[in-house]
Amino acid sequence: MHILIIEDDRELCQALTLQLAARSHTADCYHTGTEALYCAMKDSYDLILLDRMLPEIDGLSILRSLRRNKISVPVILTTALDAVSDRIDGLDAGADDYLVKPYDTEELLARIRVSHKDIVLDPDTRTLSLTVSSGKTSDQIQLSKREVLLMEFFLRNPEKTLNREQLFTRVWGPDGTVEDGNLDTYIYFCRKHLKNLKSRVQILTVHGTGYRME
């Protein structure tokens, strides 16, 4: 993934860039709201990591401007403000996720893995939705427990081929007893949900091995 980091803490930017590079991601860093907004409007990114408190233009203003201009790239908003009202303000402005500082890098990386392309999965409510041009989400599709486990596993491992044993273990557990064809049935269900949402995300069959989300 190509990620835009908008953060005025330069040391944090450097650390995040190294962490992301170790996981085969690339990142551009900007430290003021003005230059960050210009870059976000001009270039194409898979994800934006946006600090709320920035010099010149604050994060919420940047986010609202992006959504007004129909830039629907997923945005994870980061901030030291942890009141419920602050989170609501961020989500209402068009954020796809919200992370309170100081946060653990592994949690951030997990959030990044789940924010993939044009779909948003909420494991808690078992819903899958499409990010639309306003930055909000489309009508939600309700998933079963096993569909959530399967979809979340794919989203945490984008572009990676997952073999059948890995998928069985994730969805039914290491000691689960299930017929081999059940996995294919749930893959069919997930594909159907993505198609109904008109998502660009696909689950591809890797013959003789398993499946891969692209």
Cα angle 180-181-183, degrees, rounded to a multiple of 5: 85
Domain regions of the chain by residue span: 2-115, 122-213
pLDDT in tens, 99-131: 888 888 888 887 776 665 678 888 778 888 887
If you classify domain 122-213 with CATH, what class do you get?
mainly alpha
- Per mean pLDDT, which range of 65-69, 83-87, 125-129 is the poorest? 83-87
| Axis crossing angle, helix 164-172 with helix 145-155, rounded to the nearest 10 | 130
Q: Work out the end-to-end distance of the chain between its first and last CA atoms, rounded to an integer number of angstroms.
A: 12
Q: Look-up: residue for tokens 């005025």? A: 8
DSSP for 1-59? -EEEEE-S-HHHHHHHHHHHHTTT-EEEEE-SHHHHHHHHHHS--SEEEEESS-SSS-H
pLDDT in tens, 25-61: 888 999 998 988 988 888 778 789 999 889 899 989 9
pLDDT in tens, 164-212: 999 998 898 877 777 888 999 999 999 999 999 988 889 999 999 999 9
Question: DSSP E strands: which ranges in 57-156?
Answer: 75-79, 97-100, 119-122, 127-130, 141-142
Supply 28's token pair: 């551009």
What would be the CATH architecture of the domain defined by 2-115?
3-Layer(aba) Sandwich (3.40)
